[in-house]
Amino acid sequence: MRWVSCRIKSDARSVREKIQKWIFDTFMTALTKTTTTTMKIQAALLLSTLAITTAFAPIGSTTTPNISTQLRAEIGETGIAFENVAREWRCKYTAGPSGGPGDSDSLKECQALLSEYLPKLKELPGAKVTRQVCGGCLDFKVSIVQPLEEHGAWAEANYEPLESEFLDKLKGIEGVSQVETQEITFEAL
């Protein structure tokens, strides 16, 4: 992959440890500054209660920040960071006799081809498949979205064997033109 820099974000456990240390340090400071024995006992009890509840909170619970452990990449210093990449397969189909997509034979065949390959595409590690169809510009697009790490492995294999098979069959559909591919970032914001 040609991304400028990659890093793995902190996992939730190290964040939890930092929070516990901060709680401990904060309350130890408060404990040493208190003057009465009752206040010291109250501070100690509060500290122990907080330490116990954060120590046994499950990862991803509401008491711990929701931190991703997925590989993240950034595009230089643009501020664009992402965890997912999509491989897009696209083409133009021809309109049907009505002039639209509703009776387009080529669109119907594109969908049939996608239906044939959909189970195989969903078997790719971490894959989510989306389809986009435009009735105005007559686009048919399939995006296979994966986390960076899984996508990288598929990219290194030149997206084989699925991509060449699918694209060859797509090119063979009468009325289909401009068969292309593209690799793009894909993030929900």
**pLDDT tens, position by position, 54-81:** 444 444 444 444 444 567 889 999 999 9
Amino acid letter for position 151: H
- Tell me which residue range forms the domain holding 39: 5-74
Domain boundary residue, one of 13, 41, 74? 74
Do 98 and 155 fall within a single domain?
yes
Domain boundary residue, one of 14, 47, 74? 74
**CB count in 10 Å sphere of residue 60:** 11
84 has pLDDT over 90: yes
Per the structure, the count of domains in the chain is 2
Do 65 and 99 fall within a single domain?
no
Domain boundary residue, one of 46, 74, 102? 74
**pLDDT tens, position by position, 9-59:** 434 445 455 555 555 555 556 555 655 655 555 555 555 554 444 444 444
Do 36 and 100 fall within a single domain?
no
Do 93 and 39 fall within a single domain?
no
Do 94 and 149 fall within a single domain?
yes
Do 92 and 68 fall within a single domain?
no
Q: What is the pTM of this model?
A: 0.64
Do 60 and 92 fall within a single domain?
no
